[in-house]
Structure 1
Amino acid sequence: MSQESEHGKWTVSSSDESGDEPAGGCEKPSTSSLQPAGRGRASEPRYSCPEARKAAHKRKFSPLGLRGGNSPPEGPPAPKRPPPDGLGWCLSSSDEEGDCKGQAERGDAAAASIRQGEDCAPKEMASNEPSLNHQSAEPPDKVQDAWDLLDGGNPFRFFLTKVKGIKSKYNAAALHIKDILSHLFGTLVSSAQFNYCIDVEWLVKQYPKEFRDKPLLIVHGEKRESKAELHEEAKPYKNVRLCQAKLDIAFGTHHTKMMLLYYEEGLRVVIHTSNLIEDDWYQKTQGIWLSPLYPKLPPGTLGSAGESRTNFKSDLISYLMSYKSPTLNEWVEVIKQHDLSETRVYLVGSTPGRYQNNDKEKWGHLRLRKLLKDHAMQVPDENSWPVIGQFSSIGSMGADQSKWLCSEFRQSLATLGNSAKPLKNQEVPINLIYPTVDNVRQSLEGYPAGGSLPYSIQTAQKQLWLHSYFHKWSAETSGRSHAMPHIKTYMRVSPDFQKIAWFLVTSANLSKAAWGAFEKNGAQLMIRSYELGVLFLPSEFGLDTGYFQVKESLLSDEPASFPVPYDLPPEKYESKDRPWIWNIPYTRAPDTHGNMWVPK
C-alpha cells in the first residue's frame, strides 16, 4: 500500500525493530577497552539513539541538495528563513568553553553513598567536526532572569525550552538545561538523570564547572551494544554511575525524562520531555515542570511527613521503587528526608509490567483515569469537550479506532469526576496534533527535524484511518511554529477552546507501549515502557470553576490562565497534507536549508 503526495510516494523500507532482553542493575562505567562502532565518526552521533535520529544526524553532516549529491542544488536554493531580531538565548553559566556545537553536530547516609569522584576534562571534538558557536546573544546580566522566573509569575511552574533562532521575547519565560543546573538554583550535592537518549560528554558540560565532579547517577534502558557504548562514554567520568532500568517486556523503552537535584539547601524534581543531547535543547519545542525547592525535614521526622495534597511524595517514591534498584533506594531515602508539601501537580507514570485488580490503576492511562475520576470536576455538557493529544511519535493503534484509541484510551482521557450517569465517551471528539511534512520542511532545522518524529511507514500504512484525526502543528502565539515539537501534552478543552479541564505534560507518546493496553478482556493492563508526566488540575490552583482559562498569549501577564504551548483551536489537516514519516524520501521540495530528505 502506498500514498502519493506532492513530496513523493510512500515506499516501504526494511523494519528496524528488534527484540529485547531482560535487564537491570546499577553499576560503575565498565573499564573494558571496547571501542563502539562508529564512535568518533562525524556522520554518526557519539551516543546511542534510534535510527530516525541517526538519519537526521547523517543528513546534517552530509546534506543532499535538491538535485542530489552532497552539494547545494544548481540555481538559487530555497530562501532560508530571515533571522528575526534579537535572536539567541541566555544561558545560566559561563560559556567560555564554547561547548555548544551547532546544528551540524549535534550529609545524609543515603546521600553519602551516592558516589563522588574526580573531575575529568571533557574530550576534544573530532577534528572533522565543525564547531559553530551557539552562545548567547544576550548580555550576561540577564542570567538572573532564570531565577526570577521561579520567584513569581508562574504558579504552574511549567516552562518551555529556549529555542535558538526565534525572537528573544519568546525565550523570555523559557529555560535551557544550563539554567536548570545553574548554581543559582542551589548548591548541588549530587544528582540523578533519568532519560532515553544520553550524550554523557555533553551532559557533564551542562553542569557549572564547580558541580562537574559531583556524584551523577544516569538511569537508562540501554542493552547489549548500546549499553557498552554508554559505558564507554561514561568511563572518563569517575563520578558517574550508571543504572540500567529493567525492560522485561519486548519493545519497551526507558523513556522517562526526569532530574533529581539534591542541594545543600534542599531537593528539586524536574520532569521534562527532552533527551540529554544537544539537539533536543537547541531548536525544538520541549516542556519542563520544575518543582519548588523542597526543604529538608527536621531530624527524626517520619519519612511519610511532608506530603502534598496531591500525594506527590508517595507517588514519586512508588515510581522509584518500581525499578527494584538498590541505588535508587538511596534516592528514595533522600526524598523521604524532604518536605514536598508545596507540590500542586499529580504524578502520572508508567512502568513495565502486567497489572491486575487495584494495581491496574497505579500506572498508564488507568492512572490518569483514576485521578480524573477522583479529583477533576464535572463541567456542563462535558461530552462536547474535545480531548486533545499532541505528541512526537506514534505506535501501532490497531486495525481501526475501536481497538484502542476510541475505546479504552478515550474512556480514560474523557473522564471528568465521578458521575453517576454513564459517560457517552463515543461522543467526545478527539483532536490529535502531529506535524505535517510541510511543518517539518519549513522548520528551523529543515528536514533533519523529522529525526525526532519517528513515525515509520510500516506503522502508518497499517492505520491510515488514524490520519483523519490529525491536526497541524501551529504555535504562532508562542513564536514556535518553526520549532518542531518533541513535547507531549494531553488535555480536555471546551468546545470554544477557551477553557481547559485538565492538562498533562509527559514523556508518553501516542502508543500502547507507553500508556498500556488491556489484556484478558480488560482484567489486565500491560505496559511496556517507563514514562513520567505531571497532571495540572484547576482545583489545586485555587480555581473552583472546574477549568483553567487558556492564556491568550505566552507573552501576556495572566497568572491564573494556563500557557498552552500551541495554537487553539487546532487546524485540521487539509486534503494535501501528509503526516511526517521519517523513513521515506522527500525530494520534490527543498527545506529551509535548500536540501532534500533521503534517510538511507
Structure 2
Amino acid sequence: MASILTDEDNEDLQRAIAMSLESNQKAMATAQDHETNSNAGPTTSSRFNAFLRNLTMSNHEHLTSTKQTGSMSFDRKALEQERLARAASRRRQKSISPPPRKRARVEDPNTRTELPAILSTFHQKISGGAVASSAMHCALPSGLRFPFGTIKKTWSARHTSDERTIKIEDIIDKNNVHTAVLSSFMIDPDWILSTKFNTRRTKFYMILHAKTQAEKAMLRDDFDGLDQARLCMPKLTGMIGCQHSKLMLLFFSGFLRVVIPSANLTDYDWGETGFMENSVFLIDLPRRRDGSEASLETLPSFAQSLLRFLKNQDVTQDVRDGILNFDFSKTERLAFVHTSAGSHFNMNMHSTGLPGLSAAVRELGLETDEDIQVDFAASSIGNLNYQTINCIYEAARGKDITTTASSERIKNQNAKIKANMRIYFPTHDTVRESLGGPENAGTICLDSSFWKSAHFPRDIFRDYQSTRKGLLSHNKILLVRGKKSDGSPIAWAYIGSANCSDSAWGRMVAKEAKINCNNWESGVLVPVENPPQDLTDLTRTFESILDVPFVYGEGKGLEYSGKKPWFFKEHRF
C-alpha cells in the first residue's frame, strides 16, 4: 500500500515513536543504577511515558484510523486518569509540605497580557537588580570559564573524561545560577530540576514543546507547585510540527552563559547512561561595564539573531530585555543560526533556515566560489533528495538559494555533491554492536521507505562510528572546509539542534520567494580562525575548535559497502 505520510508526517512520527521508545529504554537502562545507588534521582517513567504517548497521539490525530496499528494505538481515558492521579498526588503532597506554592505561569501568546507588577521580579532577577553591585559594572567579573566560546562533547559515564568533555553540572553551576531560560524538545522535569538545579535560589523560564491542550495540561502538571517557573510554549499550528530547539541562557551575578547543545534535558542525552553522545557550545558574556542595556541596533549579529529567534517564539519582553545587560562583543566572530517555524517571505526568509545559514556564512566572510567539502553528522534523516542536499551545499558556500536562478543552478550538480559531501548516520551493525544496543537507539531515525526511494541520496551516506567506542550519537554537526578563490583556506562548524531534513532547515519555494519551516531549531556557526593550508585531514583541520566525534576513515568516511542503515522502526522494542 502506498504511504499516505508526507515527509513532515513521517519525521513527526519518527520523533514521537522515538521519544516513547527512548523513555522505556531509559527506565530499563537506569533500573539497576537506581537499585544500587541510594543517591540516584527519582525516575519519572510513568508520567513521562504518558506525556510521550499523548504527544505521539496528538501529532498524528489527522492520520486515518486505518494507519494505526496495534503498537500505535493509545488509550485517551487511561492518559487522562494518569494525569488526574498525578494532580491529586501533588495536592496531597502540598497539603503536608508547607509552604504552599503557586502554579507555574504559562505564557500563551494568544491570551497573555503584560503585567509589569508580575513581571518586574523576574526582570529584576535577570537584570541583576539589587544583587548586582556597582563593582560588577566597573570591571570584568572573575570566573569567566568560557570567555571566547568553546565546543565540548557531553560526558559519558562509561568513558574516560578529558578537557573536551563536560558534564551538565559543570555547565549549570547550580549554587550560583539565579535565573535559567531552558529550551528543549524532550524534558525529564524531575531529573533536571531535582538533581541539576537548586530550585530554592533559581528562577526558571521554560520553552517547551506542546501542541495540543492535553500536552499543555501535562506540562502544567509537571511544573505545578514550582512557583519559580514560567512556561512558554511556542506556537505549533498547521504545518508547524516541532519545538526542537535546544538552548540554555544561564544568568549569573556577573555574566550570562549562553549554551547551545544538541542534547535534550534528559539523563541519557547528557551521558548518564553512557550510551549516547551529544555536543554543546557555550560562551560566558560579562555584564556591560556601564550597567546599561544595549540598544538592539548596536548589538553584534549573533545577539540580534538570538533575540529575533526568542521574539519569534513569543518569549516575553522582560526576558529579552534582560539579555541586553550583557556584553556580546566576543560573539562577533560567531553566528547564531536558527530556524523559526512557519512561512517566511521575501527579505524575512534571509534570517532563518538555510537562507539564514547562507547569510551567516557571508557575514563571517566564509563564502567561496570554489568547491567545498561538507561532512554532516545527524541523528534523524528526512525524506531527502538531491535538491535538498544541493541547497544545503550551496548555503554552506554562502550562496543565495532564494532566487529562481539559484534554483535552476542547484538542479544540475549531483555529481559535485557525490564527490564533496558526506552524511554520517549509523549502520544497523553499528547500532547492534554499540554499548546500548538497539534498545537505546530509539532517537536515531531513518525510515526505510525514504532510503529505498529512487530520489534518496544513498551514495553520500557514511557509517557514524564514534571515536569513543560503542557510543551512539545524537549529534547534529556540520563541518565545512574549502578555499577561497585566492587559495586561502576556510573552515567552520555548525553545532546545534538541526538534523538533516527539510523540516529542520526549511523548504524553498523559489517561485513564491518563500521558505516553509516546520521546526523551531537553534545552533551556532564557529569558524576555524587559522585553518591549515592542507585541509585533507578532517581531524587536524578542526582540532583547534573541536574533537571530531566520528571516525573519518581513509579520507572519505566509512562507506556502507553494502550494509544497510539503522531503521529504528524495524526493531521490536
Task: Judge same fold: TM > 0.5, yes or no.
Answer: yes
The yes-or-no answer on 1:241 pairing with 2:225 is no
Q: Is the 8 A contact 1:553 1:563 kept in 2?
A: no
Change (3 A) 1:544 1:268: same
Shift of 1:511: 1.0
CA distance in 2, matches of 1:164, 1:440: 18
d(CA) in 1 for partners of 2:120, 2:197: 20
Match of 2:41 in 1: 99
Structure 2 match to 1:517:
507
* 1:567 and 2:551 aligned: yes
The superposition leaves residues 418-457 of structure 1 with CA deviations (integer Å, 9 ceiling, x where unpaired) of 9xx9998552422110111111111121112211112233
Q: What secondary structure, in the 3-state scheme, does the structure 2 residue paired with 1:222 have?
A: coil
- Pairing 1:217–2:226 present: no
Cα distance in 1 for residues equivalent to 2:251 and 2:26: 37
Shift of the alpha carbon at 1:547? Answer: 7.8
Specify the code of the residue in structure 1 equivalent to 2:337: V
The alignment's C-alpha RMSD in Å is 4.2
Contact kept in structure 2, 1:193 and 1:218, CA below 8 Å: yes
> Would the alpha carbon gap of residues 522 and 494 (structure 1) be closer, same or farther in structure 2, given more than 3 Å must change?
same
Q: Which runs of 5+ in 1 are unaligned?
A: 3-11, 21-48, 64-87, 89-94, 117-146, 586-597
- Residues 550, 561 of structure 1: 8 Å contact kept: no
State which of 429, 432, 435 in structure 2 corresponds to 1:441: 432
- Counterpart for residue 167 of structure 2: 176
- Structure with greater helix percent: 2
Look up the match of 1:450.
441
| Partner secondary structure for residue 281 of structure 2 | strand
**Could you tell me which residue of structure 2 aligns to residue 190 of structure 1?**
179
Deviations 1:277-312 (A, max 9, x none): 11111232211111123223424454348734xx21
Partner of residue 58 from structure 1, selected from 11, 24, 31 = 24
In structure 2, what is the Cα distance between the partners aligned to 1:543 and 1:463?
Answer: 38
CA distance in 2, matches of 1:323, 1:151: 27
Q: Which residue of 1 aligns with 2:486?
A: none
Matched, 1:112 2:98: no
Residue aligning to 1:334? 322
Query: Which structure exhibits the higher relative contact order, with contacts defined as CA atoms closer than 8 Å and separated by 6 or more residues?
Result: 1
Check whether the contact 2:446–2:566 (CA below 8 A) recurs between aligned residues. Answer: yes
**Structure 1 residue 114, shift from structure 2 partner:** 5.6
For residues 379-398 of structure 1, what are the structure 2 equivalents within 5 Å?
Answer: 382-383=370-371, 385-397=372-384
Distance in structure 2 (CA, Å) of the matches to 1:97 and 1:16: 44
Amino acid paired to 1:567: V
Match of 2:570 in 1: 584
TM-score (norm 1): 0.67
Over 3 Å counting, the alpha-carbon distance change for 1:416 and 1:360 in structure 2 is closer
- Is this contact kept in 1: 2:382–2:501, CA < 8 A? yes
Task: Find the partner of 2:394 among 403, 407, 411.
Answer: 411
Aligned-pair distance for 1:248? 2.7
The answer on whether the counterparts of 2:492 and 2:525 sit within 8 Å (CA) in structure 1 is yes
The answer to whether the Cα contact below 8 Å between 1:163 and 1:171 also exists between their aligned partners in 2 is no
Q: Distance in 2 between matches of 1:319 and 1:220?
A: 14
Cα offset, 1:233, TM superposition: 1.4
Q: d(CA) in 2 for partners of 1:414 and 1:290?
A: 25
Cα separation, 2, equivalents of 1:100 and 1:172: 30
Distance 1:337 1:544, change over 3 A: farther
Any conservation in 2 of the 1:192–1:216 contact (CA below 8 Å)?
Answer: yes
C-alpha contact (below 8 Å) 1:176/1:281 kept by paired residues: yes
Q: Judge conservation of contact 2:185–2:264 (CA < 8 Å) in 1.
A: yes
Deviation of residue 350 (structure 1)? 0.5
Q: Give SS of 1:440's match.
A: helix
Structure 2 residue 158 is matched with structure 1 residue 165: yes
What CA deviation, in whole Å up to 9, does each residue of 1:535-589 have, x standing for no partner?
0124xx46797989855499xxx6x46432223335343333111111113xxxx
**Paired amino acid for 1:501:** A
Q: Aligned in 2, Cα 1:501/1:111: closer, same or farther, shift over 3 Å?
A: farther
Paired residue secondary structure (2:225): coil
2:386 matched to which residue of 1? 401
2:191 to 202, 224, 235: 202
Query: How far does residue 250 in structure 1 lie from its aligned partner after superposition?
Result: 2.3
Deviation at 1:519, TM superposition (A): 1.8
Q: Is the Cα–Cα contact under 8 Å of residues 303 and 337 in structure 1 kept in the other structure?
A: no
| Aligned equivalent of 2:70 | none
CA distance in 2, matches of 1:208, 1:233: 16
User: How do 1:514-553 and structure 2 match up within 5 A?
Assistant: 514-519=504-509, 521=511, 523-538=513-528, 541=529, 550-552=538-540
Counterpart CA distance in 2 for 1:148 and 1:452 is 36
Q: 1:207 and 1:115 mapped to 2: Cα distance? A: 23
Give the direction of change, closer, same or farther, for the CA distance of 1:14–1:59 in structure 2 (3 Å limit).
farther
Q: What corresponds to 1:262 in structure 2?
A: 251
What is the identity, as a one-letter code, of the residue corresponding to 2:383? S
Letter in 2 for 1:574: Y
Say if 1:393 and 1:455, in contact at 8 Å, map to a contact too: yes
Q: What displacement does 1:494 show? A: 4.9
Shift of the 220–59 alpha-carbon distance from structure 1 to 2, 3 Å rule, reads closer
Decide which of 139, 145, 154 is 1:150's aligned counterpart.
145
Equivalent residues of 1:189, 1:214 under 8 A apart: yes
With over 3 angstroms needed to count, the CA separation of the structure-2 counterparts of 1:545 and 1:246, relative to structure 1, is farther
Amino acid at match of 2:145: L
For residues 413 and 445 of structure 2, the distance between their equivalents in structure 1, rounded to whole angstroms, comes to 30
Change (3 A) 1:440 1:193: same
User: In structure 2, do the counterparts of structure 1 residues 156 and 323 end up closer, same or farther at CA, with 3 Å as the change threshold?
Assistant: closer
Distance 1:445 1:570, change over 3 A: farther
**1:333-376 CA distances to partner (integer Å, 9 max, x unpaired)?**
00112111112310100101222221121000111112223433
Q: CA deviation at 1:509?
A: 0.6
1:474 aligns with 2:460: no
Q: Which stretch of structure 1 is more off in the superposition, 387-396 or 95-104?
A: 95-104
Q: Is the 8 A contact 1:500 1:549 kept in 2?
A: no
Q: Give runs of aligned pairs for residues 353-372 of structure 1, distance below 5 A.
A: 353-372=342-361
SS of aligned partner of 1:112:
helix
Query: Structure 1 299/351 Cα, relative in aligned 2: closer, same or farther at 3 Å?
Result: same
Residue type matched to 2:171 in 1? I
Matched letter for residue 391 of structure 1 = A
Counterpart-to-counterpart distance in 2, 1:454 and 1:389: 15
Among 279, 298, 302, the residue aligned to 2:268: 279
Q: Deviations over 1:376-404 (max 9, x none)?
A: 3466x932x3221110001122xx423x2
Structure 2 unaligned blocks of 5 or more: 50-116, 126-141, 484-488
Residue 180 of structure 2 aligns to which amino acid in structure 1?
A: S
2:456 is matched by which residue type in structure 1? W
1:578 partner letter: K
Matches of 1:277 and 1:364 in 2, distance apart?
Answer: 26
Q: Deviation digits for residues 478-525 of structure 1, max 9, x if unmatched?
A: xx2421111101122359xxx762211120011111101112526111
How many residues in Structure 1 have an aligned counterpart in Structure 2? 460
Match of 1:288 among 280, 302, 319: 280
Distance 1:340 1:377, change over 3 A: closer
Distance 1:405 1:417 in 2: 15
The amino acid of 1:159's aligned partner reads K
* Alpha carbons 1:271, 1:534 under 8 Å: kept: yes
1:321 maps to which of 311, 324, 337: 311
Shift of 1:96: 8.1
Quickly say closer, same or farther: Cα 1:17–1:377, change in 2 above 3 A. Answer: closer
- Give the share of equivalent positions with the same residue, in percent: 21
